[in-house]
Structure 1
Amino acid sequence: MSVHHDHDEPVPKVPLAMIGGIAVLSLLLAASASFGLVARDAVPEASRAAAGTQEVASRALFFHDAPDGGVLISDAATGARVAKVEPGTGGFIRSTMRGLVLVRQRSGIGAETPFELTEWSDGGLTLSDPATGERRELVGFGDDNRAAFAVLLEGETA
């Protein structure tokens, strides 16, 4: 029994053209936002400034590993402990901080500069690193994850 393979089959042109069109459209849209041809409403700083959004609360925080595997969070201004994330809990806080600390390590920056947690009048919550310029908009991760950081804006909790 012999199997015949016909390598002269035509390539379906319509699906190939559609895929190419989508790729070109994606590149054009990205470029138009980069060059300022399209408003950057998806960029929180730009949309907040345009809407006149104000800072409601802000707190400088240090995050340190505890000997037991937890994470100690302290107020940078007073040194008071704000919270402790117990070992095996606080996955969102741990993963968010791990990402920010990794950027610091790659840049050769230590832990001397605190992170800045800011709540905005539009309900937004931003965690920023003044040392690297990195920012994380926490609202986009859902109410529970936003709440994990929002409690850190309150007074001494632990």
Structure 2
Amino acid sequence: MSQVLKKDPQRNAVIACGGLIATALVLAVLGRHAPATPVIAPDTASESARLLFGDLADGGVAVTEAGTGREIERLVPGEGGFVRVTMRSFAGDRKRKGLSAGEPFTLARMRNGELLLQDPLTGRTMLLDAFGPSNASVFAELLDHERAIR
């Protein structure tokens, strides 16, 4: 009789762990297919730009305004590490989901001063300020440069 009582707590623990694993898997699958909702609404941003990021043959990155195709910045090889890593991450998301690489991203400064980067195709939004002021300032310069040349 004492052996039966010892097995029950182990069995209950195994069942509980299995239930937790199953719940985590279900939540992961549901979260992956949740509809994308835009965070950057026109009335919440103080300024924004639709930008394209393209790799150049020499290893540089060209940043162009989506509406006009005008190049607003060129990152030479070895510069703009945070921009490169961030945009490769966003591009990788698109590639994994089979989405177009040629659609623009939205860079916006919110009314509260936060800087956000959003992919309208995937719905992914990144709060750039979370990576520190020096990293966010690289993207802020793209937005400020865009405003200065208008």
Tell whether the structures are fold-level matches, with TM greater than 0.5.
Answer: yes
Structure 2, unmatched stretches of 5+, are: 1-38
Kept after mapping to 1: 8 A contact 2:115/2:127? yes
- Distance, in Å, in 1 between the alignment partners of 2:123 and 2:76 is 28
Residue aligning to 1:147:
137
2:44 pairs, out of 51, 54, 62, with 54
1:99 is paired with a residue whose SS is: helix
2:122 is paired with a residue whose SS is: coil
Q: CA deviation at 1:124?
A: 0.4
Residue aligning to 1:28:
none
Output the aligned Cα RMSD: 2.0
Q: Does 1:115 align with 2:105?
A: yes
Q: CA deviation at 1:112?
A: 2.4
Q: Does 1:70 align with 2:60?
A: yes
Residue aligning to 1:99:
89
Q: CA deviation at 1:121?
A: 1.4
Write the deviation string for residues 83-127 of structure 1: whole angstroms up to 9, x where unpaired: 011101111001100110000000011222100001011110100
- Distance, in Å, in 2 between the alignment partners of 1:104 and 1:115 is 11
Q: CA deviation at 1:61?
A: 0.3
Kept after mapping to 1: 8 A contact 2:129/2:136? yes
1:73 is paired with a residue whose SS is: strand
Letter in 1 for 2:80: G
- Length, aligned pairs only: 108
2:119 pairs, out of 122, 129, 132, with 129
- Distance, in Å, in 1 between the alignment partners of 2:116 and 2:136 is 9
Query: Larger % of helix: which?
Result: 2
2:72 is paired with a residue whose SS is: strand
Q: Percent identity?
A: 40
1:146 is paired with a residue whose SS is: helix
Q: Does 1:84 align with 2:74?
A: yes
Kept after mapping to 1: 8 A contact 2:95/2:101? no
State the 4+ residue runs in structure 1 displaced beyond 3 angstroms. Answer: none
TM-score (norm 2): 0.67
Kept after mapping to 1: 8 A contact 2:50/2:66? yes
Letter in 2 for 1:124: E
